[in-house]
């Protein structure tokens, strides 16, 4: 049976460093505060928001929520967003995405102050992640995967990493983060011909496809470390991209069906906020 990589353990491991960073900031009279910008009230946004509020309260970090109606027009939203972005009381800004189509997400991504862009959506941060420049911010979920692996103590150098999914928030940035740590990375997606075969050759398999329980025993080998990023609904229940019950007995390490990557993402967000508060990096 595989060793289980629990997100709560990883988050607990990060807590001490976060509290010590926070203490240093408070000694300098900085009260780090995250601005959370939400348009509408989608269920998954609200679930993530609750997770953030819980984590930040536990750590003693401030948050401010800015909620806007889905009916807001693009010009008004850009104006409001710019005001929030410019506020000297907020060191980091998290915008829930995707935005409603009429709100022109690209203009917002280009407008955000890169030094407050703690979820790595601005072109400057994207370019830094691409270039392997650790000064930038990568999307929190992709960094959470790196934190989970770091917690296991596995050296990524020379490891064959296969990522299923090529999204801008996980697959692509994670491929870069892994490459920058000297892993050999393959990205599979829905047009890949032989996904199970490619995955069987992985030392580390990251499932970020958004397809309920698509990773079956055919995708793994006895030595594989499996990281499940997916959160899906199936038959009225939450589940990951990995068929956990079938796969867990076959591999060397695995994240749980729930309480894996997701439980670490909010800690990464806190880490990014403290980094932003500690120094503007531009």
Which residues of this chain interact with its own copies, rule CB under 8 A?
110, 123-124, 126-128, 130-131, 157-160, 166, 168, 172, 175-176, 179, 182, 184-189, 191-194, 198
Comparison of 126 and 253: residue with beta carbon closer to its own copies: 126
Comparison of 185 and 229: residue with beta carbon closer to its own copies: 185
In angstroms, give the least distance from the CB of 29 to its own copies.
Answer: 32
Comparison of 10 and 108: residue with beta carbon closer to its own copies: 108
Q: For residue 215, give the DSSP letter.
A: B
In angstroms, give the least distance from the CB of 14 to its own copies.
Answer: 27
In angstroms, give the least distance from the CB of 189 to its own copies.
Answer: 7
Comparison of 18 and 164: residue with beta carbon closer to its own copies: 164
> Residue 85 corresponds to which tokens in the numbers above?
């972005």
Where does the chain have alpha helices with state H?
7-27, 43-59, 74-86, 105-111, 123-131, 140-152, 171-180, 195-200, 244-247, 262-278
Please check whether residue 84 is in contact with residue 90, taking contact to mean a CB–CB distance below 8 angstroms: yes
Residues 6+ apart with CB under 8 A from 218: 196, 200
Residue 30's CB is within 10 A of a number of other CB atoms, namely 14
In angstroms, give the least distance from the CB of 218 to its own copies.
Answer: 17
Comparison of 116 and 172: residue with beta carbon closer to its own copies: 172
Backbone dihedral region for residue 120 (phi beyond 0: left; psi -120 to 50: alpha; all else: beta): left
Please check whether residue 84 is in contact with residue 67, taking contact to mean a CB–CB distance below 8 angstroms: no
In angstroms, give the least distance from the CB of 70 to its own copies.
Answer: 24
In angstroms, give the least distance from the CB of 160 to its own copies.
Answer: 7
| 199-215 residues labelled b (16+ CB within 10 A) or e (exposed) | bbebbbbbbbbebbbbb
Comparison of 128 and 272: residue with beta carbon closer to its own copies: 128
Please check whether residue 225 is in contact with residue 252, taking contact to mean a CB–CB distance below 8 angstroms: yes
């Amino acid at each position: 049976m595989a060793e289980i990589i629990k997100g709560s353990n990883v988050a607990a491991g990060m807590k001490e460093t976060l509290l010590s960073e926070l203490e240093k900031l408070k000694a300098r009279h900085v009260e780090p505060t995250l601005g959370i910008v939400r348009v509408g009230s989608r269920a998954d946004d609200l679930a993530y928001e609750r997770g953030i509020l819980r984590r930040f309260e536990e750590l003693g970090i401030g948050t401010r929520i800015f909620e806007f109606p889905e009916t807001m027009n693009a010009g008004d939203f850009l104006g409001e967003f710019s005001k929030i972005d410019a506020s000297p009381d907020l060191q980091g800004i998290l915008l829930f995405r995707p935005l409603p189509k009429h709100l022109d997400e690209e203009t917002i991504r280009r407008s955000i102050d890169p030094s407050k862009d703690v979820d790595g959506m601005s072109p400057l941060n994207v370019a830094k992640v691409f270039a392997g420049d650790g000064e930038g911010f990568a999307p929190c979920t992709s960094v959470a995967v790196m934190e989970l692996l770091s917690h296991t103590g596995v050296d990524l150098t020379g490891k064959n990493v296969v990522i299923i999914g090529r999204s801008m928030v996980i697959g692509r940035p994670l491929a870069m983060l892994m490459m920058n740590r000297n892993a050999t990375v393959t990205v599979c997606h829905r047009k890949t011909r032989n996904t199970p075969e490619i995955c069987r050759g992985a030392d580390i398999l990251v499932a970020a496809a958004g397809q309920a329980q698509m990773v079956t025993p055919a995708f793994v080998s006895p030595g594989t470390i499996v990281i499940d990023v997916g959160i899906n609904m199936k038959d009225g229940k939450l589940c990951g991209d990995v068929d956990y019950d079938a796969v867990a007995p076959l591999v060397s390490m695995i994240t749980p069906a729930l309480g894996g990557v997701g439980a670490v993402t909010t800690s990464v967000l806190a880490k990014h906020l403290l980094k932003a508060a500690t120094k503007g990096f531009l």
